[in-house]
Amino acid sequence: MEIAEVKAASSVKQKKNRSIKVGKRIERISTYTLLIVLSAVFIFPFLWLIGTSLKPENEAMTFPPTLIPKVWDFANYKDVFTIVSFGKYYLNSIIVSFFVVLGTVLSSTVVAYGFARIKGKGRNFWFVILLGTMMLPPQVTMIPVYMIFSKLGWINTFLPLIVPSFFGSAYFIFLLRQFFKTIPKELEESAYLDGCGTFGIFWRIVLPLSVPSVITVALLSFMWTWNDFLYPLIYLNDDAKYTLALGILQFKGALLIEWGPMMAASVLIILPLIILFFVGQKYFVQGIATTGGKG
Amino acid sequence: MNKSRTFLFYMFILPWLIGFFIFTAGPMIYSLYMSFTDFSGLGTANWVGLENYKKLFTEDPLFWQSLWNTIFYTIFGVPLGLVVGYMLAVLLNANVKFMGVFRTIFYLPSLVPTVASSLLWIIIFQPDFGIANAILDFFHLPTSNWLLSEEMVKPSLIIMSLWGAGGGMVIYLAGLQSVPASLYEAAELDGAGRFKKFWHITVPMTSNVIFFNLIMGLIGSFQIFTQAYVVSSGNGGPNYKSLFYVFYLYQDAFKFFKMGYASALAWILFIIILIFTLIQFKVFGRKVYYEYDE
């Protein structure tokens, strides 16, 4: 009799356990179902982009549309370079991005080290000002800055896009400062005792230790420059000077839109970013989580 | 804090300090001055007092239209983007397999340059042969003119923006992962279900991140420009329904060369964003942004 009681009790317990397990399983299944459906929704526009870039013109404009092209036509990718000077735009974007990244890294690291480690009079005051500029909408300064560059005769050159980056970027100064503060002070102190000057310490000890953060800054500033539209729009009005973001709009005429080549061009603009993302994934995530995105 | 350290400090921050005076402080003062003039970009600027501001508020329907467009886009777009980004993060945080794969899938669209994603969505929303209408048609639902329709152009832009909601997801994910597991375990012992745990632990524990994203989202949303410029071919159509605030500012400054007038617009925007920022500081206190040494 006792045995029977124990058995009954354990079967109740098992049932309860099983129902918890079933509940967990339903929870899991519903999570994965939702994730897969959402993934499909998020991937779909990419498939559409690639699909359209491979469709000949008549197929791009049929209803109902086809997802996978009936004929795989790579002509659009060739047309991209013949309809407009896409190669030129690509080169322009590379030049501008390269110098912006260079300027940003050179200036922001030095300034950030000053804010992180050198106790000077007024440091906290200037740091608050720095943070304040992060909140300032660029439209407030846009018109006077345009006037300055216009007076210098720099309109229609890359200089207005490049030169400001050599004066540091508040976001990146902030990000790098946060990182520099995590480096143990003892390293710098012992270098100081060995007779190393402040700039030497920064250059030979702190920078080599900060390579991951510098890569994060370089990646993010590359991405933002590559995507920038408003400033090239204001400063570049000669077709030969266009960056990719401006140049690609040439496919979208007022009346005629060249769908296939336009999507092929989009693929070519996105490609370097996707490659960089996969190469430097951890730096991207780290940087976004630190700065809170591009705001 | 001796003198030579102070000198050294200023030598290090010199690049930024010079840039601050040339590209920020100077232009701010100049821009404020210009907002009280009829400056056109060329020739002299005549002082007109509060004329620009008076005209904006009383005689300019496009100012109100662009402000309304921006508010509409913000009050629907920002919370929706927040919910989608948060939901994605919560799903990914549930200890799922292939988490990295899913995270990449949700994050990648936010990497796509705005110009490129706008062109892509123009094709998706194309009324005659776009896939959006094809799907609606398949389910026998009414189709739409999307970006070419006065009513639908802003909702279409909001749908577009949701595709990039994975950018916020990454920030939420970091916040979610810092919630101590012991809290969930304790709640489970008390018999709390999934929904209760979410509502009483997850949300309150990540409220700082949510609020930060909300305010940054509001500030960003008030500066929407590129996607509207691209989908409307630079004119803010149809019938000014996609003419957002910064778009109108751009047109006034660089198309109509009303630089003084556009400066007044810029200062009103500055005040709106300043208010958002102050709310953020009030709620967070100062320590979220920086910490003093001593």
Peptide bond into A64 cis (omega under 30): yes
Q: Are residues A98 and A223 in the same domain?
A: yes
What's the rounded mean pLDDT across residues B201-219?
Answer: 88
ipTM of predicted complex = 0.89
- Stretch 212-241 of chain A: residues touching chain B, C-beta under 8 Å: 223, 226-227, 229-230, 233-234
Residue A236 counted as domain residue: yes
Contact between chains at A118 and B12 (C-beta distance less than 8 A): yes
Residue A234 sits in the same domain as residue A164: yes
pLDDT over 60 at B288, yes or no: no
Distance of CA A260 to the CA centre of its chain: 26
Confidence (pLDDT) at B291: 36
Interface of A with B in 76-135 (CB under 8 A): 107, 110-111, 113-115, 118-124, 126-131, 133, 135
Question: Is B212 part of the contact surface with chain A (CB cutoff 8 Å)?
Answer: yes
Residue A183: give its domain's CATH number.
1.10.3720.10
pLDDT confidence of residue A294: 39
Q: What is the mean pLDDT of chain A?
A: 88
How far B288 CA lies from chain A's nearest CA (Å)?
12
Taking contacts as CB-CB distances below 8 angstroms, the residues of chain B near A188 are none
* pLDDT for res A194: 86
Q: Exposed e or buried b for every residue in A236-259, given b needs 16+ CB within 10 A?
A: beeeebbbbbbbbbbbbeeeebbb
Average pLDDT value for residue range B50-71 = 96
Tell me how many domains chain A contains.
Answer: 2
Q: State what percent of residues in chain A have pLDDT above 90.
A: 56
Q: What residues does each domain of chain B span?
A: 52-285
pLDDT tens, position by position, A10-29: 666 666 667 777 877 888 89
> In whole angstroms, what is the distance from residue A229 CA to residue A250 CA?
14
Pair B214, B82: CB distance under 8 Å: yes
Instruction: Note whether A223 and A127 are same-domain residues.
Output: yes
Residue A66 forms part of a structural domain = no
Please name the residues between 73 and 132 in chain B that touch chain A, using a CB distance below 8 Å.
Answer: 88, 91-92, 94, 96, 102, 104-106, 108-109, 111-117, 119-124, 128-131
Residues of A with Cβ-Cβ distance to B134 under 8 angstroms? 63-65
- Minimal C-alpha gap between A1 and chain B (Å): 33
Tens digits of per-residue pLDDT, A262-278? 999 999 999 999 999 99
Percent of chain B with pLDDT over 90: 68
Cβ separation A135–B219 shorter than 8 A: yes
User: A74 falls in which pLDDT band (50, 70, 90)?
Assistant: confident
- A186 and A126 within one domain: yes
A-chain residue closest to B289, CA distance: A131
Interchain pair A223, B249: CB under 8 A: no
pLDDT by residue (tens digit) across A127-165?
999 999 988 999 999 999 999 999 999 999 999 999 999
Same domain, yes or no, for A213 and A92?
yes
A35 lies in a domain? Answer: yes
Q: Is the Cβ of A160 closer than 8 Å to some Cβ of chain B?
A: no
CB pairs under 8 A between A and B: 258
**Domain housing A140:** 79-291
- Written as one string, the DSSP assignment of A21-33 is HHHHHHHHHHHHH
Q: Are residues A45 and A98 in the same domain?
A: no
Check A270 against B116: CB less than 8 A apart: yes
Chain B contacts of A119, Cβ < 8 Å?
1, 5, 9, 293
The predicted pLDDT at position B264 comes to 97
Q: Indicate whether A90 pLDDT > 90.
A: yes
A230 and A110 in a common domain: yes
Does residue A214 sit within a domain? yes
Least reliable range by pLDDT among A21-30, A242-251, B105-114: A21-30
In the predicted model, what is the mean pLDDT of chain B?
91
Distance, in angstroms, between B262 CA and closest chain A CA? 8
**Does residue A153 belong to any structural domain of this protein?**
yes
Residue bearing tokens 């988490």: B99
- The distance of A7 to chain B (nearest Cα, Å) reads 26
Q: What angle do CA B54, B58, B61 make, to 5 degrees?
A: 125
Q: Are residues A245 and A107 in the same domain?
A: yes
3-state secondary structure of B235: coil
* Highest-scoring range by mean pLDDT, B143-157, B164-178, B277-291: B143-157
Asked, for residue A71, whether it belongs to a domain, the answer is: no
Weakest-pLDDT range from A5-9, A35-39, A46-50, B19-23: A5-9
- Is there a single domain that holds both residue A27 and residue A156? no
What is the nearest CA distance from B151 to chain A, expressed in angstroms?
22
Any residues with CB less than 8 A from the CB of A113 and at least 6 apart, and which? A176, A177, A180, A202, A206, B12
| Backbone angle region of B241, left / alpha / beta, with phi > 0 → left and psi within -120 to 50 → alpha | alpha
CATH number of B52-285: 1.10.3720.10
Closest chain A C-alpha to B130 CA, distance in angstroms: 7
Mean pLDDT of A110-126: 95
**A138 and A269 co-located in one domain:** yes
Lowest mean pLDDT: which of A76-80, A251-255, A270-274, B132-136? A251-255
Same domain, A36 and A162: no
A111 found inside a domain: yes
The residues in A 15-54 lying below 8 A from B, measured between CB atoms, are 27, 31-32, 34-35, 38-39, 42-43, 45-46, 48-49, 52
Instruction: Indicate the residue of A35, A110, A227 with minimum beta-carbon distance to B91.
Output: A35
> Which residues does chain A have within 8 Å of residue B212's beta carbon, measured at their own beta carbons?
292
Residue B178: pLDDT band (50, 70, 90) is confident
CA-based torsion, B112, B116, B118, B122: positive or negative:
negative
B5, B11, B131 member nearest A119 (Cβ)? B5
Using 50, 70 and 90 to split pLDDT, how confident is the model at A55?
confident
Exposed/middle/buried for residue B3 (C-beta within 10 Å: 0-12, 13-18, 19+): exposed
Best residue in A143, A220, A291 for a mutation probing chain B (most B CBs within 10 Å): A143
3 state DSSP class of B285: coil
pLDDT confidence of residue A231: 96
Look at residue A202 and tell me whether its pLDDT is greater than 60: yes
Dihedral over Cα of B203, B205, B207, B210: its sign: negative
Q: Is residue A270 a part of any domain in this protein?
A: yes
